[in-house]
Structures are given as structure tokens and as C-alpha cells.
């Protein structure tokens, strides 16, 4: 009886969020309203493929029913502002239903020799799908961030709130609609610390995979490392890649750059990463921001190689992207390559991630919601 009552109250709750629900859940939702099961499939298609912003738009629904649903909120964000860099990376400021602003980035990767030409309205025109290799979306998982890493713009503004899974899914749909291309990859590298919002992030991963059609292996969760959370994430047995923001080759240096590192030693962090690999069979990659004179010396590269010895991994070097509040410098190319070479000599797979979207302030660490 109680269960029945609960179901009733959910069914009549106007604010039940549909975005994020599976085909089965949407089918149950329409059936609770006396509609045939196939309307669930229609609803699913309109939410995830057609990007419906209100149920009133769903023209395949019978007129009378549609009218009763017209005010039902879908909780899609609106584009408050967008900018484009010369490499065609687009940065968005999205306004959430409660008025808060988050950032999302759409990063197209063009095929070798593939033209970047867009049809129609210049830079913002439609990209020729044949020239596109990937379309990656960089999503936020929180409004702001509580981690306060010294080199990161997001942390400077503090933390406001966690995002709900549908607000994460919405970011992907928004980029998909704006580019008029399917998103193929997703990285949780926007604002926020995903492992502090683990349940919503995991729910978003399931929805992106199941309903939006992005392979789990094409999704990456990036974390600075939160005690116990890497092991908790492993228990979900996702096929996503875990990227860990290491940024330092020893504990002392890491604590200087990342205040939360005090509560999570490098040894414990690396142990948890090994456990993640053991449980999920998936790779862990490490991100290492390069700050000239601070963590980019040959001795740091040697120390890093030692720390990661025996770990089947990949190190992504990220040359620092400048932000206003701190005066770190980006090392020159020669130094970056020298650092990478030392790691290679020590048999550590390494790549340098030259940032995308720099002029749009859309590169790693440059995201902040206060612009405009
Ligand atoms: N909180 C998560 C995800 C968000 S940041 C994390 O820390 O991993 C995504 C990546 O951008 C992280 O590796 C982060 O350390 C890096 N980053 C932050 N500020 C940066 C900057 N100014 N230049 C280059 N990379 C930066």
C-alpha cells in the first residue's frame, strides 16, 4: 500500500525530471499516464535525439495529451554566451534552470588533411561531417569547485553546488545540437571535481552511454584524487578511462600545488589507482601540468618515472594555461619535449596535450563562470 502511494505521488509530481531516464523508465512514465508503451519510445527519441525543450513540442503525441503536458519542465539549459577559438573549439556558458552558470566546451578533432571549412555562417556554420574525426565535449560536474588547486581558475571562485545527472547530460546534448554533429567522446574535465559528485556522475555516464549512444570507453573521468572515492568508482565497474591529475612527482610539491593532497598521500593515491586497474581492467592515465621552474625540471621527470615504475599507464603532459590570479609560467617547447623524452627513456608512455581553445579561455583550467 505504501509503495503504491509512493508511486502515485511520483507519478503526479510535476517536477519529476525526465532527462536521464532510460527507455524502460520513460515507458513506465507514459504508461502511468494511461498511454500505450510506444509513446515511451517516442518520448525517448524526442528527448535524446530531437532535443525537445518542452513536452508540448512532441507533435507525435495526441493533441489533447500534449496540451496537458505543455508546461511540464524538461530542465534544459539555455546558452547564455558562446565563443569560438581559431581551432573551432567552442566554449559555452550555460544557464541552468536555477539561473546558475556553468561552462562546457565542444572540441572538434578534424581528420588529417580534413578541411575545417564550415558551410553557411562562417565559423559558426555547419561542419562537414566527413572532415570530422571526433567531437569531444568537456563537461562540468559541479558549479564551481571546492578543491582550490593553485593553478586552476575554477577553484578561485569556490564551490556552489553539485550538478544533477540530467544537467550533465544536457551539456552533451547542447554541444551536439550546436555543432549539429553527434558527440563521440566526453571528458569530465570542466568545472568541478567529479568524484565529489560520484552518484550523479555515474548516473550521467550510464545515460550518455545507454541513451545518447556514447561508448563508455570514449568517456574519461578526471580527478585530483579524493580518499576512498577511486575505489568506490571502481565498484561501479564502468568501462570509462580514469585520468588522475598528479601534477607533482613528490608529496611536498603536490601539497604546494593541491591543498587537498595533504589528506591523501601520493603513495595511497597510486595504490588506489593500481586497485582501480585491478578491479575494472581499465587503464588509468596521469595528467601532469607543466609549470616552468616549479615541476618541470629533469629531476622531476626522473622522480615521476620512479613513482610510476611498473605501472602500465600513460602520462599526459599539459603545458600550463595562464590564468590571471597566479604568476606561473608555461615552459617553452624545448623544455616540454625534454621532460617527455626522459619519461620515454624510462619506458613510460607519454603525450603532450597542447591545449585547445586557448583564445576562447576554454582550455584546461581556464574555465570560470564569471566571464561576461
Ligand atoms: N577536478 C578534476 C577535473 C577538472 S580539471 C581534476 O582535477 O582532474 C581538468 C584538468 O585541467 C586537470 O588535470 C587540471 O589539473 C587541469 N588544469 C587546471 N588548471 C590548469 C591550467 N591553468 N592549465 C592547464 N591545465 C590545468
Distance 122 CA to ligand 1 centre (A): 31
Residue range(s) defining the domain that contains residue 200: 78-360
d(CA 223, ligand 1 centre) in Å: 9
Domain end position, chosen among 40, 69, 98: 69
For 141-167, write each residue's pLDDT tens digit: 999 999 999 999 998 989 999 999 999
Domain membership of residue 370 (yes or no) is no
Domain boundary among 45, 69, 93: 69
Please tell me the residue having the least CA distance from ligand 1 atom 15.
Answer: 245
**CATH code of 317's domain:** 3.20.20.70
Residues paired with 328 in a beta bridge: none
pLDDT of residue 238: 97
Is 366 domain-assigned? no
Residues 212 and 297 in one domain: yes
Q: Is the CB of 290 under 6 A from ligand 1?
A: no
Q: Based on the domain organization, do 94 and 60 belong to the same domain?
A: no
Whether 367 is covered by a domain: the verdict is no
Q: How far apart are CA 242 and CA 283, in angstroms?
A: 7
Same domain, 289 and 161: yes
HEC assignment per residue over the chain: CHHHHHHHHHHHCCCCCCCCCCHHHHHHHHHHCCCCCHHHHHHHHHHHCCCCCEHHHCCCCCHHHHHHHCCCECCCCEEEEEEECCCCCEEEEEECCCCCEEEEEEEEEECCCCCCCEECCHHHCEECHHHEEEEEEECCCEEECCCCCCCCHHHHCCEEEECCHHHHHHHHHHHHHHHCCCCCEEEECCCCCHHHHHHHHHHHHHHHHHHHCCCHHHEEEEECCCCCHHHHHHCCCCCCEEEEECCCCCHHHHHHHCHHHHHCCHHHHHHHHHHHHHHHCCCEEEEEEECCCCCCCHHHHHHHHHHCCCCCCEEEEEECCCCCCCCCCCCCHHHHHHHHHHHHHCCCEEEECCCCCHHHCCCCCCCCCCCC
Is the Cβ atom of 196 under 6 angstroms away from ligand 1? no
212 & 329 share domain: yes
**Looking at the structure, do residues 176 and 308 belong to the same domain, yes or no?**
yes
Percent of the chain with pLDDT over 90: 79
Domain presence at residue 149? yes
304 CB under 6 A from ligand 1?
no
Cα gap 86→48, rounded to integer Å = 30
Question: Which residue minimizes the CA distance to atom 12 of ligand 1?
Answer: 245
Q: Is 145 a catalytic residue?
A: no
Residue 371 counted as domain residue: no
Count of domains observed in the chain: 2
151 and 214 together in one domain: yes
Say if residue 173 is in the same domain as residue 315.
Answer: yes
Judge if 253 and 281 occupy the same domain: yes
Q: Are strands 101-110 and 90-95 parallel, antiparallel or unpaired?
A: antiparallel
CA of 365 to the centre of ligand 1 (A): 5
| Cell, residue 252 | 611536498
192 and 45, same structural domain? no
Domain boundary among 22, 40, 69: 69
CATH of the domain at 28: 1.10.150.530
Kindly state whether residue 278 falls inside one of the protein's structural domains. Answer: yes
In a domain, 193, yes or no: yes
Question: Is the whole model's pTM more than 0.85, yes or no?
Answer: yes
How far, in Å, from the CA of 364 to the mean position of ligand 1?
5
- Has 364 been annotated as catalytic? yes
| pLDDT (tens digit per residue) in 282-305 | 999 999 999 999 999 999 999 999
Catalytic residue among 103, 167, 193, 200: 103
Query: Could you say which residues of the chain have pLDDT below 50?
Result: 1-12, 120, 371-372
- Atom number, ligand 1, closest to the C-alpha of residue 323: 22
321 in contact with ligand 1, CB cutoff 6 A? yes
Contact predicate 41/23, CB 8 Å? yes
Distance of CA 152 from the midpoint of ligand 1 (Å): 6
For residues 193 and 62, membership in a common domain is answered with no
Q: What is the pLDDT of residue 368?
A: 64
Amino acid at each position: 500500500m505504501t509503495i503504491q502511494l509512493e508511486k502515485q505521488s511520483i507519478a503526479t509530481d510535476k517536477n519529476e525530471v525526465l532527462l536521464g531516464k532510460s527507455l524502460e523508465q520513460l515507458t513506465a512514465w507514459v504508461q502511468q499516464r494511461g498511454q500505450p508503451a510506444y509513446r515511451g519510445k517516442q518520448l525517448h527519441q524526442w528527448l535524446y535525439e530531437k532535443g525537445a525543450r518542452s513536452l508540448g513540442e512532441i507533435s507525435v503525441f495526441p493533441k489533447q495529451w500534449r496540451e496537458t503536458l505543455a508546461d511540464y519542465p524538461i530542465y534544459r539549459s539555455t546558452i547564455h554566451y558562446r565563443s569560438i577559438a581559431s581551432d573551432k573549439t567552442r566554449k559555452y556558458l550555460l544557464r541552468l534552470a536555477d539561473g546558475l552558470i556553468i561552462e562546457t566546451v565542444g572540441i572538434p578533432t578534424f581528420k588529417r588533411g580534413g578541411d575545417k571549412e564550415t558551410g553557411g555562417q562562417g565559423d559558426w556554420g555547419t561542419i562537414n561531417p566527413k572532415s570530422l574525426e571526433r567531437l569531444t565535449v568537456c563537461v562540468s560536474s559541479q558549479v564551481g569547485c571546492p578543491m582550490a588547486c593553485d593553478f586552476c581558475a575554477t577553484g578561485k571562485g569556490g564551490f556552489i553546488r553539485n550538478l544533477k545527472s540530467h544537467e550533465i547530460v544536457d551539456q552533451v546534448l547542447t554541444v551536439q545540437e550546436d555543432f549539429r554533429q553527434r558527440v563521440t567522446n566526453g571528458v569530465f574535465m570542466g568545472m568541478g571535481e567529479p568524484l565529489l559528485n560520484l552518484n550523479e556522475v555515474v548516473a550521467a555516464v550510464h545515460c550518455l552511454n545507454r541513451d545518447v549512444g556514447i561508448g563508455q570507453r570514449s568517456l574519461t573521468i578526471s580527478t585530483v584524487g579524493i580518499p576512498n572515492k577511486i575505489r568506490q568508482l571502481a565498484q561501479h565497474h564502468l568501462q570509462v578511462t580514469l585520468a588522475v591529475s598528479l601534477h607533482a612527482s613528490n608529496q611536498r610539491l603536490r601539497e604546494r600545488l593541491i591543498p587537498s593532497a595533504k589528506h591523501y598521500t601520493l603513495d595511497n593515491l597510486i595504490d588506489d589507482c593500481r586497485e582501480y586497474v585491478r578491479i575494472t581492467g581499465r587503464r588509468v592515465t596521469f595528467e601532469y601540468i607543466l609549470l616552468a621552474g616549479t615541476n618541470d625540471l629533469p629531476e622531476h621527470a626522473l622522480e615521476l618515472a620512479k613513482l610510476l615504475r611498473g605501472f602500465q599507464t600513460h602520462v599526459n603532459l599539459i603545458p600550463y594555461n595562464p590564468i590571471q590570479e597566479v604568476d606561473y609560467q608555461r615552459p617553452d617547447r624545448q623544455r616540454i619535449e625534454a621532460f617527455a623524452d626522459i619519461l620515454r627513456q624510462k619506458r613510460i608512455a607519454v603525450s603532450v596535450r597542447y591545449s585547445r581553445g586557448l583564445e576562447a579561455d576554454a582550455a584546461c583550467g581556464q574555465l570560470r563562470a564569471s566571464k561576461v
